[in-house]
Amino acid sequence: MPTYTSHPAGTPTWLDLSSPDLNADLPFYEQVFGWNISEGVPEYGGYRMAFLNGQRVAGLAPQMPGMGGGAGAWTLYFASHDAQADVQRIRELGGTVFVEPMQIGDQGQMAVAADPTGAVFGLWQEGTHTGMELMGEHGSLSWAQANTRDLAGASQFYAELLGATSQPTPGIPYHTLHHGEDWTAGVMEMDAADFPPEQPPHWVAYFAVDNADAAAQAAVANGGQVVSPPHDTPYGRIVVLQDPGGAVFNAIEGQQLGA
């Protein structure tokens, strides 16, 4: 897989974990994904970077003050060339802005928002931090998907915000977002059989793994849980895992969803 030095506007550029228990989550991800995780940076609230073969793949941070008691969560960020303009566009399209564009030293600007259905995501306008340097290999992001109860509305929101086209998938309640010929992300309808009514719409990250069954075993051995056991799909073998801090994510072996 190629390395990335930048990401086009409207495409996934970064993801990070907000953890209520970094002491448990750090060794978990080191063992499941083979990450090399940096020391925390005090001026950035103990924020850490995860690397594979020296290439940046994700961030991890302690849960922010005032958010204690909640489960951990992964946040996906889309690349923005003008975060101020994009948050205004989010409001115009019916979304909600939780964190206005905030300068993070010389790293870049971040913002956090939710689509009109309630799924939370971020924006990242790069400075010296240009996002993920590796994607699609074991332990790095392979795909991202918004789970929502308004497939048409959410798909239209992201298509307009991200400058993407939305394409329905024949036979299933799923839309894919595209920039030209490149696949960007997915949007899936949440059905009652798989999602309890109290679960809000959300984004989920798919991490590439060499072996989904081995990833499940490593997760359990390091304090995590298997939410949905490894199962074969037309897109690869997928397992849903939960880290010790409660953050849920998917791992996929085989064919990459964006390919």
- The predicted pLDDT at position 82 comes to 98
Using the predicted structure, report yes or no on whether residue 9 has a pLDDT greater than 90: yes
Mean of all residue pLDDT scores within the chain: 94
pTM of the model: 0.95
Task: State yes or no: pLDDT of 259 exceeds 50.
Answer: no
171: left (phi over 0), alpha (psi -120 to 50) or beta: left
Structural domains in the chain, sorted by start:
12-126 (3.10.180.10), 141-253 (3.10.180.10)
67 pLDDT above the threshold of 60: no
Q: Could you tell me the strand order of the sheet in which 55-62 lies?
A: 36-37, 48-52, 55-62, 12-19, 73-79, 120-126, 108-114, 96-104
Cα–Cα distance, 177 to 73 (Å, whole number): 23
Cα separation, 214 vs 84, whole angstroms: 43
**What is the percent of the chain where pLDDT is above 90?**
86
69 band by pLDDT with thresholds 50, 70 and 90 = low
Q: 198-253: per-residue pLDDT in tens?
A: 999 999 999 999 999 999 999 999 999 999 999 999 889 999 999 999 999 999 99
Per-residue pLDDT band at 3 (split at 50, 70, 90): confident
Q: What is the pLDDT of residues 156-184, one digit of tens each?
A: 999 999 999 999 999 999 999 999 999 99
Give Cβ neighbours of residue 51 (< 8 Å, ≥ 6 apart).
Answer: 35, 36, 37, 38, 57
Select from 129, 94, 110 the least CA-distant residue to 6: 129
* Residues 90, 179: Cα–Cα separation, whole Å: 19
Nearest Cα residue to 243 out of 3, 80, 15, 27: 27
